[in-house]
């Protein structure tokens, strides 16, 4: 609290429904605060979806790349997205080698389960997908 007071930090309670400006899109099914926070930090746009069908519909309408869908059943969302011949989706786990996946399959949509992912892991994923590998000068991120 002292740091916040000394540095004039403003804390806002709640989850933003959209974050403007950014190089990627996060589609959230349900509630995933850590994913929304990580996307906000990575300057990704965030939109909400009601179910896997809604998320797939929104992912196929958006042509920005990359797109990450979180929440719901990721395999269902990926299957629904893959019905469109112009777009590819892949299910991603924490053990997935993203660089290998993108070199072999080159998916535009990455579907992941919202549980089990930490803020740091999600932020690393978003930065990897947008090729922004470095943190601000003077910061050291845990790997």
Contact 122, 69 (CB under 8 A): no
Distance CA 1, CA 4 (A): 5
Closest CA to 92 of 44, 20, 19, 26: 26
pLDDT of residue 102: 85
pLDDT of residue 78: 94
pLDDT of residue 137: 52
pLDDT by 10s per residue, the chain, length 143: 787 777 777 666 654 444 344 589 999 998 888 899 999 998 899 999 999 999 999 999 876 678 999 989 999 999 999 999 888 999 999 888 888 888 888 899 999 987 889 999 999 899 888 874 444 455 555 55
pLDDT of residue 134: 43
pLDDT of residue 91: 94
Q: Give me the residues paired with residue 47 across strands.
A: 27
* Two structure tokens written together for 39: 């996307």
The H-assigned helical ranges of the chain are 2-7, 33-41, 52-61, 74-81, 98-104, 119-129
């Amino acid at each position: 609290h002292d740091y916040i007071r000394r540095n004039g930090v403003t804390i806002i309670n709640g989850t933003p429904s959209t974050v403007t400006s950014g190089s990627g899109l996060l589609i959230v099914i349900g509630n995933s605060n850590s994913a929304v926070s990580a996307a906000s930090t990575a300057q990704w746009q965030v939109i909400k979806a009601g179910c896997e069908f809604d998320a797939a519909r929104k992912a196929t309408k958006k042509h920005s790349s990359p797109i990450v869908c979180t929440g719901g059943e990721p395999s269902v969302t990926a299957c629904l997205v893959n019905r469109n011949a112009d777009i590819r989706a892949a299910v991603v786990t924490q053990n997935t080698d993203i660089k290998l996946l993108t070199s072999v399959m080159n998916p535009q949509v990455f579907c992941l389960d919202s549980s089990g992912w930490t803020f740091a892991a999600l932020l690393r994923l978003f930065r990897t997908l947008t090729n922004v590998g470095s943190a601000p000068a003077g910061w050291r991120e845990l790997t």
